[in-house]
């Protein structure tokens, strides 16, 4: 995949990984529509990138908003080549997570991807190609201590990316799934769990920060773009995740026992 000259949409682009991805894509010669619930944030990033970027506000789990992003991209730059489903949220804590918290995590972390693919794939099939990039999480391959909705929704995001690749990979549609551990973003700093669940919020953040290095969004963006250029399905900004995932698959019970010990140690 050659990035230069491509048209991309990046969701969650007002800050963090999405903003860094947008900057890197423009630097590589792409033209980008930046989408975020925080229009002001997306607009600030877009303005810094000049004529190669425009910002659109809205909830990217809403199919009407996604359709508007595609229409705006086509009107400004041409047909969409790459879609970075990067927007994500945390969720509730454990079994006391409300139905609303579960629904929000599934809407943003999974169904937003499904709805975007539903709108884009038919056109990509007709044109002979397209690229879907899902930002999941290492939690989608391993798990997330302290937050059931986050862990489950990120597993689902990985599962959907796998299905998309298997189903359409022979038709010119490429898929990448990004699974980082700790990244220095507002999501990590504010906690993956609502502050009213103080113990679980602390556990979730400690688990991420203890497992490996906390990367900058710019470091992650560089790795993601390199992975897309190589058309690699699994993009791991933290390479050690592959070793952890391998251990999990080799002996699931031993891995679960190890995670329980890790959780106990973090709880002190």
Q: Which of 83, 131, 150, 168 is catalytic?
A: 150
What residue has token string 């939690």? Answer: 139
Give the integer Cα–Cα distance in Å for 109 and 169.
Answer: 22
Cα torsion at 154, 157, 163, 164 (round to 10°)? -150
Q: Which helix H or strand E contains 123, and what residues bound it? A: helix 112-127
Query: Nearest 5°: phi and psi at 55?
Result: -115, 145
| 29 Rama sector, left if φ>0, alpha if ψ -120 to 50, beta otherwise | left
Rounded CA-CA distance 190/204 in Å is 11
Residues 6+ apart with CB under 8 A from 67: 119
> 239 forms bridges with which residues in the sheet?
none
Q: How many residues does the chain have?
A: 268
Residue 245 designated active-site: no
Question: How is residue 138 written in tokens?
Answer: 């290492």
Token representation of residue 107: 């809407």
Contact 140, 179 (CB under 8 A): yes
**Interstrand relation of 31-36 and 53-57 (parallel, antiparallel or unpaired):** parallel
How far is 120 from 66, CA to CA, in rounded Å?
Answer: 10
Residues designated as active site:
150
């Amino acid at each position: 995949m050659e990035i230069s000259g491509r048209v991309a949409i990046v969701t969650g682009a007002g800050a963090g990984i999405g903003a860094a991805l947008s900057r890197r894509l423009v630097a590589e010669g792409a033209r980008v529509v930046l989408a975020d619930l925080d229009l002001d944030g997306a607009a600030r990033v877009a303005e810094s990138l000049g004529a190669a970027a425009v910002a659109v506000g809205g909830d990217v789990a809403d199919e009407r908003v996604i359709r508007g992003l595609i229409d705006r991209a086509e009107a400004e730059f041409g047909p969409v080549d790459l879609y970075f489903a990067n927007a994500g949220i945390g969720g509730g804590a454990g079994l006391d997570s409300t139905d609303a918290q579960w629904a929000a995590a599934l809407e943003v972390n999974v169904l937003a991807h499904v709805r975007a693919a539903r709108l884009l794939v038919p056109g990509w099939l007709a044109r002979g190609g397209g690229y879907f990039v899902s930002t999941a999480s290492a939690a989608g391959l391993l798990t997330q201590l302290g937050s059931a909705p986050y862990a489950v929704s990120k597993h689902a995001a990985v599962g959907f990316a796998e299905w998309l690749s298997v189903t359409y990979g022979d038709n010119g549609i490429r898929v990448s799934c990004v699974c980082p551990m700790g990244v220095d973003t507002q999501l990590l700093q504010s906690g993956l769990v609502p502050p009213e669940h103080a113990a679980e919020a602390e556990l979730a953040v400690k688990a991420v920060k203890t497992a490996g290095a906390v990367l900058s969004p710019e470091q992650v963006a560089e790795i993601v773009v390199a992975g897309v250029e190589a058309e690699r399905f699994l993009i791991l900004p933290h390479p050690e995740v592959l070793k952890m995932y391998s251990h999990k698959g080799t002996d699931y019970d031993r891995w679960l026992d190890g995670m329980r010990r890790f959780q106990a140690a973090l709880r002190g």
